Amino acid sequence: MRTPSRVAVTPQAADLLRRLRAVHGPLMFHQSGGCCDGSSPMCYPLGEFATGPSDVLLGSLDVDGAAEMEGAVPVWMSAAQFEYWSHTHLTIDVVPGRGGGFSLEAPLGVRFLIRSRMLTRDELAALDLA
């Protein structure tokens, strides 16, 4: 069985990511916590945000719908935050909005948003083995 994924992207968000990539080059996400614009995914040019041992790579978003993952967008979260999130599956969506830290989409009048669901028992078991 293929290892289930922790992250996904809606078609609307994938479309936005392709547009942003055309302007800014390869992209990444880091999930924010805390106040104001927090608890939201922040989108940056790949490498703009320095990840390290205190972060967890949740997965990569295939925004081209292709088998090869060349343009895939990695999604990171701090390891401490992951402790509390690990039982949920995250889908990155986009809604009309205004602002959000230094995230790239804000000037377009939209904001990336996390939608969550519980991982199933089978998914969790498979992820634990992976």
Partner 1 sequence: MTVYAPPGQPGSPAKYASRYDNFIGGEWVPPVKGQYFENPTPVTGRAFTEVARGTAEDIELALDAAHGAAPGWGRASAADRSAVLLKIADRMEQHLQTLAVAETWDNGKPVRETLAADIPLAIDHFRYFAAAIRAQEGSIGELDEQTVAYHFHEPLGVVAQIIPWNFPILMATWKLAPALAAGNAVVLKPAEQTPASILMLLELIADLIPPGVINVVNGFGVEAGKPLASSPRVAKVAFTGETTTGRLIMQYASQNIKPVTLELGGKSPNIFLEDVARARDDFYDKTLEGFTMFALNQGEVCTCPSRALIQESIYDQFIADAVERTRAVVQGNPLDTDTMIGAQASNDQLEKILSYIDIGQQEGAKLLTGGERVQLGGDLAGGYYVQPTIFEGENRMRIFQEEIFGPVVSVTRFTDVDDAVKIANDTLYGLGAGVWTRDMHAAYHLGRAIQAGRVWTNCYHLYPAHAAFGGYKQSGIGRENHQMMLEHYQQTKNLLVSYSPRKLGFF
The residues that touch partner 1, with contacts defined as CB under 8 A, are 30-40, 42, 44, 48-50, 78, 80-81, 84-85, 88, 95-104, 106-107, 111, 113-118
The sign of the torsion formed by the CA atoms of 120, 3, 83, 106 equals negative
Least separation in angstroms between CB 18 and partner 1: 18
Centre a 10 Å sphere on the Cβ of residue 61 and count the other Cβ atoms it contains.
Answer: 24
Least separation in angstroms between CB 31 and partner 1: 7
> By C-beta, is 11 or 69 nearer to partner 1?
11
> By C-beta, is 2 or 115 nearer to partner 1?
115
> By C-beta, is 3 or 116 nearer to partner 1?
116
Q: Are 43 and 111 in contact (CB under 8 A)?
A: no
Please compute, for residue 11, the number of CA atoms within 13 A of its CA located in the half-sphere on the CB side.
0
Q: Are 89 and 6 in contact (CB under 8 A)?
A: yes
Q: What is the DSSP letter of 39?
A: S
Angle at CA 41, nearest 5°, toward 5 and 123? 20
Least separation in angstroms between CB 127 and partner 1: 17
Least separation in angstroms between CB 34 and partner 1: 3
> By C-beta, is 6 or 111 nearer to partner 1?
111
